[in-house]
Structure 1
Amino acid sequence: MPEYQLTWKDKRIIWGTAIDIEPLVGKYPNDSIRQGVNTALDWNLPGGIYRAKEVVLELDKLLEAMLVQLGEPANGDPKVLLDSLQANLAISGRTSSLPLGPLALEDKAGVELTAQAVRISEQLVSWAREINSQKRALAQYGPETLGELEFRSHCYGHTLTPAAIQQAFGPSGGPRVMQLYNEYLHQFVLLRDALLPFANWEQVPFEVQEHTEFKGLRFLEPARKTFLTRLLGKDLTHKSIVQYAQHVVSSGLTAAGYGFQYRLGTVLPAGLGESARTAARYLLKWHPVQTIQTEDAEDLAAVSFDYEYGDYYAAPRNEAGTGILGNENILPVSEDHYDEPSIARLLPNAGSDRTTLRISLNMEDREFTVDLGQLFRGQRFLYRPQENNNANATVVRRTPISLHQAANILSHPGLVTNADGIHFIPTGGNELVLWALLGKLYPENVVLLDIGDEEELESAHAVGKGFGTKFLVL
């Protein structure tokens, strides 16, 4: 297999071996509707590799069985039931299963996951409507088989819309139909919540192992409960998001770093291959790549990727020096324009007890490497000029701004800081250089600029911790 390449604009990041998971997805040894332990027909997700849409296809069988048992079209209206699903997956309203909207989460992780919940819910409902309109299950099984589907679904308090209540408990409804609908709703809720960590959630393959004691995605319930407790309690960290993602894809990993490899690919923070200015800081992204090499992808071991410096506060630090002094009101003039590097590589270091990744790039006839985990940590901790969240910073005495070359900063071992002052590092618009700097600078008072004009500089003086040295990166 060829090397995996992540491309954006004119830049590329290359690493590992690309893997093809398409032959594995959607190949199941059993049918989801099969004979139960008694005479009734039962439903369960068969063991295998799924992506989100494959699960929605299997869940539609429950809805179609409901409609048959309600007597479609006179009593079973799919629009009413699908509208209730939409209301259940919404982030606000009486029927919401995850009421993030009223919480008004303001922490960065909460804001990202709230927007993510909206995106996923809308697409899942759109797929559910599309697939149900095709009546695949009815064509595959016929009304007699769907009419026999019956099982016990333990209630989890999902609230229905009044119209859905009228259908499910109306003259043609009752407990049997309600059990099907409860399972339908609950599986969609589990699916939506399972996908929350992943920016490219539609593409993520995950393994479902069939269990006799619970159905479908219910194996995720313990991890989901822990994850949502931290999210709703506004105590969500990047590490806890990674831990949850590892459970979702059945990686088998318990320890968590900033990313991981499992047998269906590699999961890293979503910022890789995106602009550091706009990229998500807490979401993850799945890549179809075998990062740590093995001879056979089927035998691919799960690996957690660790930071080079587990505690960045205790990491070795080196001072950037004075640089070229300017004044405090304008950024020093720089002639640096980095047409290179256009390619970076990820270099794994798999030791006996931990695995780290470094990103390597060539600039000015030199090779620079930076710990990949520290790079993402730097992006999570950076400040933006419009984030005026520290009024005390505005009263800090300004000092002349020193100009530094990116190559000089990257040449230092450990993390780079300074005793005091304001320090400006231009990147010449090169995103690879920018990302590398975020992994090299001590992540305390780093401000990422957009244009560097007088107004933005004024705003940049007002953000940060209000003490210590400050680095401005453009």
Structure 2
Amino acid sequence: MSNYRLTVGEYSLIWGTRINLEPVPGPGHVLTRQAGGEWDWDLPEGVYLARDLVRELAVLLDAVVEQLGESAGYEPLLDNVKASLALSGRESVLQLDALALADPARTELAEQARRIGDTLARWAGEQAGEGPRFDKAILGGLRLRSRCDHHLWTPLVTNMLTGPNGGPSVMQLFNEYLHQLVLLRDLLLPYENWEEVPIGIERRVKGKGNEKGKGLRFTEQARAAFLSEILMGRPSHSSLLGYAQSGLAPELSAAGYGFQYRYGTILPASLGRPPAGGRRFLLEWHPVRTVPYTEGGGTSAVFDYAYPDYYSAPRSQAEAGVRADGSPDEGSLGGIREAHLEVAPVDGEPDRVQLHYRLQIGPQAYRVDLGQILRGHRYMYLGGSNRLHEDGGSTKRTAAAMLAQPGLVHADSGTHHISAGGNPLVVWALLGKLYPENVFVLHEEGDGLQGAGSSGKGYGAKIVIT
């Protein structure tokens, strides 16, 4: 098996073992016949992509149309689906458009919810256009008890469901269909490449107090807690990771900054883009086994920060980072094309590891904690070249000199310019080495500084990566 290579332009980050995964539902059936002759619905055990799940859910909508009779059709029901997945309007389940979203976290999540909801509604329409997958007799005999009765219907759908051909059983089928689609959208909210994320549906364990519910209902409790954070204020990165783990790897302990589960690796989406343009909050699925399987060990692992509390991490002074004789100059940095990730176990925690980002500059290898790199990216400011160069009186530092220092590098005063030679791999390494306060990454397309005011925090030392 080959290593996984995450490529951004001409630069690559290499780690782990690539996984070739073909998500497929298990051998079970979405419909099962009950003792009384009626049919029941649930998702069979297996591995699904989002589109697979929309296909499996479609039987519920088919049953609604069949049981309403010839006077009904898909179109008004699909209009209700679109309205339920929208972010505003009477039927909307998640009304984010009504909020003033000024922070990047909620802005990214709102954009994501809109994008996923629109696509799921379109897929539902395409699936309906293919026609029912089951015989009319089976669809007519499908019954289920839905605990979801809080969805609002459009006036036309209300008339259909409460009319002479409607009734409680048809209402429950449509409510369940709406609810499962909403659960699917919200399960996928954390992931920028949400269409690619494999979702494992495990066997339901029956028994009092141990019933996970039909379909995607196992996500309900974590979903409610996470959406409450979004609606009440800015959710934290750790809460996003916790929510992501609850849906893909609920067996894991407290969240770090990423994790491995049976079907791949989850890391912040910023890693796969240039530092100045990457998203700061969403996650991304990668088809890679980061942590090797060991005999007797699990398939899941949390990625831990080397400095859980970076405020108390050991520090070095930027002023101490002078260039030593023979150290590489900034011109040699542009030729670096690869960096690697290395796994380091955490003592006493078999399901937790640290990931070291290794960058080779000339004969010297430098290692930086990947978690601190991603934290530094979330806290950095973007600086336009014109505004930053107006400051004057700055001190130049070399990347190698900064990376060679122990702990996190900070400055007490002044402006310190560190050249990365225009290489994003070097920028990533520096973001993990610098204390994440008033750190700027030069963005040539920017017009001034973006972030906290026009000059970062507006006080204290600045460190500028150019």
> TM (normalized to structure 2)?
0.91
- What amino acid does structure 1 have at the position aligned with 2:194? W
Structure-2 change in CA distance of 1:200 and 1:147 (3 Å): same
- Alpha-carbon offset, residue 360 of structure 1: 0.7
How many residues matched? Answer: 448
**Distance across 2 between alignment mates of 1:300 and 1:128:** 36
Percent of aligned pairs with the same amino acid? 44
Counterpart contact for 1:89–1:121, Cα < 8 Å: yes
- What amino acid does structure 2 have at the position aligned with 1:417? H
**Distance across 2 between alignment mates of 1:250 and 1:303:** 9
Counterpart contact for 2:264–2:286, Cα < 8 Å: yes
Correspondence 1:166 to 2:159: yes
Partner of 1:469: 461
- Alpha-carbon offset, residue 323 of structure 1: 7.7
Correspondence 1:243 to 2:242: yes
- Alpha-carbon offset, residue 408 of structure 1: 1.5
Structure-2 change in CA distance of 1:471 and 1:452 (3 Å): farther
- What amino acid does structure 2 have at the position aligned with 1:106? A
- What amino acid does structure 1 have at the position aligned with 2:11? K
Structure-2 change in CA distance of 1:118 and 1:452 (3 Å): closer
Structure-2 change in CA distance of 1:209 and 1:452 (3 Å): closer
Root-mean-square deviation (CA, aligned residues, Å) is 2.5
Counterpart contact for 2:103–2:234, Cα < 8 Å: no
Report which stretch shifted further, 370-379 or 269-278. 269-278
**Distance across 2 between alignment mates of 1:252 and 1:472:** 41
Partner of 2:265: 266
Counterpart contact for 1:337–1:427, Cα < 8 Å: no
Counterpart contact for 2:381–2:449, Cα < 8 Å: no
Counterpart contact for 2:16–2:288, Cα < 8 Å: yes
**Distance across 1 between alignment mates of 2:279 and 2:143:** 43
Could you tell me which runs of 5 or more consecutive residues in structure 1 were left unpaired when the two chains were aligned: 325-333, 387-393
- What amino acid does structure 1 have at the position aligned with 2:355? L
Correspondence 1:351 to 2:350: no
Counterpart contact for 1:51–1:205, Cα < 8 Å: yes
- What amino acid does structure 1 have at the position aligned with 2:431? L
- Alpha-carbon offset, residue 423 of structure 1: 1.1
**Distance across 2 between alignment mates of 1:410 and 1:452:** 27
Q: 2:182 aligns with which of 189, 192, 207?
A: 189
Correspondence 1:4 to 2:4: yes
1:228-270 Cα distance to aligned partner (Å, 9 max, x none): 1111111411001001101111341131100111111111111
1:30-67 Cα distance to aligned partner (Å, 9 max, x none): 11111236432110111121111111011111111111
Partner of 2:325: none
Partner of 2:252: 253
1:50-98 Cα distance to aligned partner (Å, 9 max, x none): 11111101111111111111124xx222111111101100111111100
Partner of 1:130: 126
Partner of 1:84: 80
Report which stretch shifted further, 361-370 or 77-86. 361-370
Structure-2 change in CA distance of 1:452 and 1:399 (3 Å): farther
**Distance across 1 between alignment mates of 2:461 and 2:149:** 52
Partner of 1:70: 68
Structure-2 change in CA distance of 1:76 and 1:239 (3 Å): same
Partner of 1:14: 14
Partner of 1:46: 44
Could you tell me which runs of 5 or more consecutive residues in structure 2 were left unpaired when the two chains were aligned: 323-328
3-state secondary structure, aligned to 1:375: helix
1:7-43 Cα distance to aligned partner (Å, 9 max, x none): 1210111111111221xx2231311111236432110
Q: 2:368 aligns with which of 367, 370, 393?
A: 370
Q: 1:157 aligns with which of 150, 161, 176?
A: 150
Structure-2 change in CA distance of 1:200 and 1:2 (3 Å): same
**Distance across 2 between alignment mates of 1:175 and 1:156:** 10
3-state secondary structure, aligned to 1:368: strand
Q: 1:179 aligns with which of 172, 181, 205?
A: 172
Partner of 2:112: 116
- What amino acid does structure 1 have at the position aligned with 2:111? A
**Distance across 2 between alignment mates of 1:281 and 1:384:** 12
Structure-2 change in CA distance of 1:458 and 1:43 (3 Å): closer
Structure-2 change in CA distance of 1:457 and 1:238 (3 Å): closer
- Alpha-carbon offset, residue 398 of structure 1: 5.9
- Alpha-carbon offset, residue 451 of structure 1: 2.0
3-state secondary structure, aligned to 1:157: coil
> TM (normalized to structure 1)?
0.89
**Distance across 2 between alignment mates of 1:457 and 1:176:** 58
Report which stretch shifted further, 271-280 or 341-350. 271-280
Counterpart contact for 1:385–1:460, Cα < 8 Å: no
- Alpha-carbon offset, residue 450 of structure 1: 1.2
Structure-2 change in CA distance of 1:367 and 1:335 (3 Å): closer
**Distance across 2 between alignment mates of 1:36 and 1:182:** 21
How do 1:394-405 and structure 2 match up within 5 A? 400-405=393-398
**Distance across 1 between alignment mates of 2:430 and 2:305:** 16
Q: 2:100 aligns with which of 99, 104, 123?
A: 104
Task: Point out 4+ residue stretches in structure 1 off by more than 4 angstroms.
Answer: 457-461
Q: 1:412 aligns with which of 395, 405, 415?
A: 405
Partner of 1:232: 231
Partner of 2:303: 305
**Distance across 1 between alignment mates of 2:373 and 2:175:** 44
